[in-house]
Structure formats: structure tokens, C-alpha cells
Structure 1
Amino acid sequence: MNIVAGIDLGTQSLKAVLYDYEQKRIVAQASCPLDLISKEDGTREQKTEWYDAALKSVFEKLPCELRSQIQAVGVSGQQHGFVPLDKDGQALYNVKLWNDTSTAEECRILTDKAGGNAEVIKEVGNLMLPGFTAPKILWLKKHFPDGWKNVRYILLPHDYINYVLTGSYVMEAGDASGTALFNPAKRRWSRSLCSLIDEGLYDLLAPLIASDTKAGTVSQKAAGLLGIPEGIPVSSGGGDNMMGAIGTGTVSDGFLTMSMGTSGTLYGYSDKPIADPEHGLSGFCSSTGGWLPLLCTMNCTVATEQIRSLFGLPVAEFNRLAAAAEPGAQGVRVLPFFNGERTPNLPKGRASITGLTMTNSNKENICRAAMESAVFALKGGLDAFKKLGFEPKEIRLIGGGAKSPLWRQIAADIMNVPVSVPVSEEAAAMGAAVQALWCLEGGTPERIKSLCAEHIQLSKEKSAEPGNAVCEYEQAYRDYNEILGQLTPLYIHG
């Protein structure tokens, strides 16, 4: 067999797929759950030792005879997480994650030092948001100054897995552009923003490599640990959204990918740098050589899981109840800010259920409203894309939400765009595997497009077209935004 491996380090689990690129099929896959440290102040953290153990566990679950035939590896990882290591590669603190909102004060400090939002956007194409990496670095320096003095490597989660595999300290533009220390348009680190955190920070940042080049090769240590060949290439990898773009074929204009996982994201490929940070559209690079404007919300399946847990419902029963309610949930609205929120920028935001009356207060409506809320939150991204001239002919849906026929239809109706779903449910891991193949071939920017056309398949059975509920949802979306506008002052000052 001719096998490439794709690894995806997510918030809830670490997964790996083995893909036979001649037979065009996944021949094995495995996963391992990850824990989460959560605190009332918005802290969301994990530990590098959890990543190490999960990586080993996942590869041990894969057949030895297939592991031995792996020719290249690609890595996807949750974006923005801050992994500080000392000179020996040991973690100096927990990994602060993308959904950690405890750094709102650090964002304010850095924005003020930079001269305001406009100056930050000018320098890095984004606002300084709690989800990004830069405020996390300042947070560590402020709260653990002794640990900060020993920092030698500053990594993102996918870079950490690359480091474990190869011993190489490098970054690529896609994931780097989510740090708020990187200028996506110019594809270089921002010396001025680095200096606002620490005069020595710029020199600590990793060298940048091109998306189609390798981060390194599998070391003897990693080969022995995982049971894979020593010396095979490890591609540059990228953030989970960048790898999800490859895994859905969103590598050219015309398509948008919407990911409905713990977070919600909406992104599309562009041949030129595009950003609209004031409306939540971050200016990122892709991991294929172009750009990937992206909107991210911190609460997607979080909302449905919290409501499901509140009612003590199995997944199937939750879906049945939601399906029994009418589109628009009879006026019931959920604001799903269980983790605070990034878009809109409300780190102190809180979840709420509104619109309840004597006649519509039932589980069916609340369950459906929770599902609808996740898509309402992402529709603002679609509006921002359209203002920039994007007219998507299709949305490619991935993540846990893509598994639900009801959620697929809700997405098609609210967005009023046809929805399709890739055959592989592990789009980020699959994207990492295809990028690994691209690296193995020594490909060109055009080759990644043809590789996606060859290897990314869409499911005919899981597609959804906009239906009769489109008009109902246009009104419901207006209601959602009106409620959001009324409650936002509470979140800003709360």
C-alpha cells in the first residue's frame, strides 16, 4: 500500500487517519479523547503530556503492518493555543487554548500600546482578541515571570506535534497568522507587536517555512515511540481550519467551508489577502500558499451539548425533539455564549434563552433553538463574505454538526446556500494527509488543487438544499440580532 498519515489535534480528541492514496480510501483510523481544564475566569487549558500520551495511544491502535508503510505525515491542530517550552523541550506551563478568554485584559493592554484597533489591524490584519496567541504570551510573562525567563520555544499545538515528530522548530504561515503576531498580507512576523510584549520575543519565534515544504523528518525517537518509519517527511501542517480547507477541497474560489464542532468557523479561499476584522472576518493565510479569510465563534456544538446535558437527553432523543419543533422554534432564541464569545467580541458574554411564553416553553423549541443559534452566529460571516464580493455556490459542512441531517437542513435554510458534506468525517485529518502527499510529491501550488479534486469526495446522500423555511429564518435571524444588540451592553460591562 501507498500510505500517508494525517493527524488532527483537536480540543476534544487527537485523531489519526491512514490514507491509501492509490486506492483512494482511508484504510485505518483511531482517536483518543482529551481532557480540558476549565475555570470560571474563562481559563481553558490542556497539558502537553496529554498530547504526548494521546499521540502514542492513537498510533498503538493502528495496525502495525499499516504503520510500517507510512510514507509521509501531515499534522492539523487547533489554532491559537500557546505552547511554551524550555531549551530541553519541556513545557513551562499548561497550553492555553483558543477558547481561553482569561486574557481580555492583556488584549486591552496590547491594543492600547499599539495605538488602537486600527493600528493592530494595519499590522496583523486582525483585532487583538482573547482567542489569539499574543495575549496569552503576555499573560504568561505577567503571571509567571520566572517561567517566562526560561522560554526557548513558542509553539502552536500543531507545531508542538511537529516538534515531537521531528525535533524541528518551524512554523508555516497559515497557523502563524492566527497568533496576532504575524502580518498575513506580507507573510512575516510583526517586530513592532512582538516588542509590545517583550523586546526579546521576536528572536524567540520560529523560522517560517513554505506550505509545500517539510517541517522535518521523523526522528529515531518518534519512530520508535509510534512504530512508524524513521526519516519519512513531515509536511508543514497547519491549523485545523487550514487543514479542513484542504480536506473539503476549499482551495480555490467559489466554495465556503463551515465547521460545526466545539467552535464554529466559516472560511473560504482567496488568491489575495482579505480581511474584515470589524465584522469578525479574520485575515489568515491558507496552508496551500493563498489566503483564508475566516470567521470563528467559540460556541457551536457547545450550545447543543449544554442544553442536552441540562435536560439529561441522549443524542438521538435531543435530535428527535428538535426535529419536532417548527423552524424558528416558535420565537424561542438561544444566545449560545457558554464560553464567552469571540465573534462578536464578548469574552464576558453569557448564554441565555429568550422569547419564552406560556405556549412555546417546551423542550422541543429549546432544543431546536440551540441548534439554530449556532448557525445564526455563523451567518454573520456569510454576510461579511458577500460584502467582500464572495458569492458562494456551495457550503461544505464538516464537524459534529455535519453528522445530523436536521442540522444540515437548518444550515442550508438559514444560509440559503446548498450544503454538501465530504465523505470522510475527519476533514482536518484528511486534509493533513493530502498535504503530506503534496509534500511527498514535491508539488506546486497548482498541484494541491488537483490533489483535492482527486482525493476529496463529497457525499451525495448528505447534501441539503434550501427549502420552505428560508423566509421563516430570515425573520428569526433578524430577531436573533436584535436580542444580541439589546444584551451586548450587559456583556461588555459584566
Structure 2
Amino acid sequence: MYLGLDLGTSGLKALIVDENGAAVATAHAQYDVSQPHPNWSEQDPNEWVIACLKVFTELDNNHGAAFQNIRAISMSGHMHGAVVVDTSGKPLRPCILWNDMRSEAEAKQLDADPNFRKISGNIVFPGFTAPKLMWMQKHEPDLYDRIHKVILPKDFLLHWLTKRYVTDMSDAAGSSWLDVGARDWSETLLNASGMRMDQMPDLIEGSQIAGIIDPTIAHECGFNQDVKVIAGGADNAVAACGVGAAQEGQGFVSLGTSGVLLAAKNGYHPAPETAVHTFCHAVPERWYQMAVMLSATNSLNWLANTLNTTPAQLSKLCAGPISGPSKITFLPYLTGERTPHNDADIGGAFIGLKSNTTPADLCQSVMEGVSFALRDCLEALKSTGTELHEILAIGGGSKSEFWIETLATILNLRLALPDKGDFGAALGAARLAMIGDGADVETTLVPPAIAKHVSPNKKLQSEYEAAYQRFKKLYPLIKEAS
């Protein structure tokens, strides 16, 4: 048996698979995000350990035979987070998360250094790790001076399990410290942001063994003593492993907390000027390009909270086939935006509200606004030479048939909905555990069974295209008015 862990922004998913990669058991634990100040987003790393213990206990209690036969564990984790620990491995402060925008000035400072785009292959975004450490140096110098290691979120769990400081290429690629083409730490980039090489974790591929589970942890949690811990990777790279997007031309769109459009690449072809990310894949000698918009299902969560309801109840207001675009336009820039704008300051907006506007109208406009922002992402990917003809759709938002048909029509792409898509990243982590234990990469990273395909609505496509062109014109107007 093999165990995949998916450390998400709001919860931890666990999935046990057998030697054929078939799902055997699942478990889930939730935790909160703290926002102590505007544009801040933090999490206590110790909450991740508590969540791990909870899912381990649940799996052991409900699926003991499978749990006690686990041979290897691997994990996926949300990217860019800054976990700073002292010499004992204890966090010095809460993790600064991927969607934290406090280090905008530091990001601009680093991005102005041409070495960063040249070596890392990416714009330095405020959400990346390096500018967060520069912010700490300026605003929390006492804590900064005590930093022993800077690790990424999933690697805090990896250290807890193995007592080793290790990360993988795909997660390190989002730090702004990695030479993404060479797949190695860059001393030039580290020095430019005030960091040292000895503060970095060891660097290996995501399918390689990071260590053997610590005997004390194994005893406390009910594992065998010789369980391998495989490095794993960044959430989107591992989700790509879960849906079999590992070769050129394969990709997926994710309607999660953020929105992601990812395309696998067989070579390294960065285009930082497009605000498209170019990162290492979780398996050797492969990369991927990724365009990101920051508030996908989070936009729906915000609206539901504002209307004192739940996202599920709100989604029920938009059911059935699409019938044409809303007369209200939503700009989903609730926490700034990455692709294609690279703008931490821009805010969201509704355009076209009327006295008779209903919650259903607002819900539809939010789903469309997120889809329009993902179309911006697609256009940015196309500008780099990437071509996609059919992609998988994953993430919580993919459960909405209305949203998926809207998205397919706006992107003008056929979307494939995989079975058991809820565990895409957890499945990818389990697959990396299998590969780390000796399974073949090509025969393990296969596409899932497809539950259904959703094609663009050709009759309505021109109407949605016109609505998208109106959407495109609004960003500079909102920017000027902000």
C-alpha cells in the first residue's frame, strides 16, 4: 500500500492506494487560515502535524490492514510558503502563505534585478518565498537572525516524519532561489536576497527517497519501522502527476482556492514577461508552465460569506445548462492577481449592478468572472507557444456543471472530468510514493478514467466571446480608478 498526503490551504487530504494505484481509503482534516492584517495570510505549521495525526488515526481505525501495510509515503503541498525554523526545528513564526501580499515592495526590488528572471525563469511575485524573507529581515530582524532553515510547507511535514531537511525541485522552483533550468539552488539569487546556502534544505527530485520514517513517529502512528518517505512536490506539479499530465500537450485546469491552467513541457522554455510560471515538474527532466489567477473558488466563498450562505447553496442557484452571459461582470481580483497582470494591489469589482440584481445573478457573474480570468491565463500560455486542445478539469469548482460548461465555452476547449477528481493531488502524491518504491514513471503517471466530457456551447460561444472582450477592457479602467 502507498499513502499520498495533500497539504492544502484549508485542509489535509490523505489517500491510500494499492500496488495498482487503485484507491483503497481516504481521510480528511481541516484547519484555518489567519489574516491578522490586510493582505496577510498565515498558518501555524504545527496545525499541519495535528491534521496529519488525525488522518493517520482515522485511517488506522477504519482501514487498519491497509494502513499497517504502507510501504511508502509522499506528499503534495501548497507552494511558496515561508516556514522558518530554529536549530531545534521549531517554527519561529507562523508560515507566510502563498496568497500573502505583504512583500510587494521586496518582490519588486528583486524582480528589478535581471538575474532573477534570467536564472529562475520567472517573475518574482509577492507570494513567492524570497521576498517574504526580505520582509522578515526588515520588519522582524530578531526572528530573522535566528533562522536555521527556510523550508516549504510540505517539507515541514517531511522533517517531522524523517528529521531531515529536504525539498524537491518542483516546490523549490517557486521560491525564486532555484536555477530552474539547471535544477539547483542559485548562490547568486540567494546572495541577492540576503540568504545563505546552508539555510536551504537538501534538494532532490520529487520521486526520490527523502528518508525513512522516524522510529518514534512510526511507533506513535502505527506504521512499520521501514516506511520510505518520498520527497513529493508542489501541489500543482503533483496534481499533474495525479491526472497523468506529464508529457508535452497534456494539461489541466483547476478550480480550487486559486485557479490554475497547467501545461506539461518536455523541455525548459521560460517566458517570464508573460507572467506565466515555468517550474520543474515533480519527476526528473520535465518541466511545466502554469498560469495562475488568485481567487477562483475563493471568490465564490467570499460571495457566500457576504450573503450569509454556503458555497454549495449558492451554487444551486446556478443549475442546469448555460443560457448566455450575465449582464453583470465580476472582476475576481480579491487578493490581487498574477497572470497576466502581476498586480498585488488591484481589487475586485462588480460592474452592472441593478436594484433587481439577485444572489443568482451575482453567483453567475462570479463563475463567469473566474472563467474570464482563466481565459486570460490561456491567452498568456498561448503567447509562449503552448498549445492545448483538450484538458482535464479538477478542483472543487469542477463539481458545478454550470460552471464547467461556462468555462469550456469561454476557453473554447473541451474539458474532461476525471473520476474521483477530489483526490487529484493526493493521488499524485501516492503515485510518487509508488515511483519512489520502484514503479515505472511512464506506466504509473497515466490519465484517469474520464467520467464525462464537456464541450463548448457553440451556439452561445459568440456571446461569451463578446463578454470576454468587455471583461478584458475593464482591468485598466479599474486600475486607473483604484
Q: CA deviation at 1:243?
A: 0.4
Q: Could you give the per-residue CA deviations for residues 95-139 of structure 1, whole angstroms, max 9, x where no partner exists?
A: 000000011121123234x2xxx4421121111111100011111
- The 5 A counterparts of 1:175-324 are 175-198=171-194, 200-289=195-284, 290-323=286-319
Q: Partners of 1:185 and 1:217 in 2: how far apart?
A: 29
**1: distance between equivalents of 2:388 and 2:338?**
24
- The answer as to whether partners of 2:301 and 2:310 remain within 8 angstroms in 1 is no
**Aligned equivalent of 2:27:** 30
- 1:62-141 alignment to 2 at 5 Å? 62=59, 63-112=63-112, 114=113, 118-141=114-137
The structure-2 alpha-carbon separation of the partners of 1:69 and 1:122, relative to structure 1 and needing over 3 Å to count, comes to same
The 8 Å contact of residues 325 and 365 in structure 1, kept in 2 or not, is answered as no
1:474 is aligned to 465
Equivalent-residue separation in structure 2 for 1:60 and 1:201 (angstroms) = 39
Alignment correspondent of 1:173: 169
Aligned counterparts of 1:328 and 1:121: Cα–Cα separation in 2: 41
Match of 1:50 in 2: 47
Q: For residues 35 and 224 of structure 1, what CA distance do their matches in structure 2 show?
A: 28
Residue correspondence of structure 1 range 156-171 to structure 2 within 5 A: 156-171=152-167
The 5 Å alignment of 1:376-391 reads 376-391=372-387
2:442 matched to which residue of 1?
A: 449
Q: Please, which moves more after superposition, 118-127 or 163-172?
A: 118-127
**Residue 348 (structure 1) aligns with:** 345
Q: 2:481 matched to 1:483? A: no
Deviation digits for residues 278-335 of structure 1 (CA, Å, limit 9, x no counterpart): 2221111101120011111210001111112222334454223223796554321111
Give the equivalent residue in structure 2 for 1:6.
Answer: 4
Opposite residue 350 of structure 2, the aligned amino acid is I
TM-score by length of 1: 0.92
Aligned to 1:393: 389
Q: After TM superposition, which residue ranges in structure 1, 4 or more long, deviate above 6 angstroms? A: none
State the partner residue of 1:465. Answer: 455
Q: Deviation string for 1:256-291 (max 9, x for gaps)? A: 211111111111111111222222211111011200
Contact 2:333 2:347 in 1 (8 A): yes
8 Å contact 1:42–1:340 — kept in the other structure? no
- Determine if contact 2:418/2:451 at 8 Å carries over to the other structure: no
2:57 to 49, 57, 60: 60
CA distance in 2 between partners of 1:384 and 1:449 (Å): 29
- In structure 2, how many angstroms separate the alpha carbons of the residues matched to 1:427 and 1:414? 24
* Greater Cα shift, 267-276 or 71-80: 267-276
SS at match of 2:12: strand
Structure 1 position 183, deviation (Å): 1.5
How far off is 1:26 after superposition?
1.3
Matches within 5 A, 1:418-433: 418-424=414-420, 425-433=422-430
Q: Structure 2 vs 1, CA of residues 450 and 61 (structure 1 numbering), >3 Å: closer, same or farther?
A: same
Partner Cα separation in structure 2 for residue 107 and residue 298 of structure 1:
17
Q: What's the CA shift string for 1:441-485, capped at 9, x where partnerless?
A: 1x5xxx3222122xx423324x21111332221111111111112
Decide whether the 8 Å contact of 2:319 with 2:401 is kept in 1: no
The amino acid across from 1:450 in the alignment is T
Letter in 2 for 1:368: Q
Q: Which SS does the other structure have where 1:292 is aligned? A: strand
- Give the distance between the partners of 1:50 and 1:408, measured in 2 at CA: 33
Measure, in 2, the Cα distance between the counterparts of 1:338 and 1:39. 17
* 8 Å CA contact 1:420, 1:458 repeated in 2: no
Percent identity, aligned pairs only, is 30
Kindly indicate whether the alpha-carbon contact (under 8 Å) linking 1:4 and 1:436 is maintained by their aligned counterparts in 2: yes
Distance in 2 (CA, whole Å) between partners of 1:203 and 1:315 is 45
* SS of aligned partner of 1:225: helix
Q: Which moved more, 1:130-139 or 1:32-41?
A: 32-41
- Pick closer, same or farther for the CA change 1:45–1:316 going to 2, 3 Å: closer
* Letter of the 2:223 counterpart: I
| d(CA) in 2 for partners of 1:229, 1:426 | 25
- Show CA shifts across 1:8-42 (max 9, x none): 100010111111133x4211111111111113431
Which blocks of at least 5 consecutive residues in structure 2 are unaligned? none
- For the residues of structure 2 that align with 1:48 and 1:348, how far apart are their CA atoms? 27
- Partner amino acid, structure 2, of 1:19: V
TM superposition shift of 1:81: 0.4
The amino acid that maps onto 2:342 is N
- Cross-structure match for 2:335: 339
Shift, 1:357, TM fit: 4.2
Distance 1:325 1:458, change over 3 A: closer
Summarize the Cα distance change of 1:225–1:334 in structure 2 as closer, same or farther, 3 Å threshold: farther
One-letter amino acid of the structure 2 residue matched with residue 110 of structure 1: L
CA contact (8 A) 2:261 2:378 kept: yes
Cα distance, 1:355 vs structure 2: 2.1
Name the Cα RMSD after superposition. Answer: 1.8
Instruction: Call closer, same or farther: CA 1:33–1:316 in 2, change over 3 Å.
Output: closer
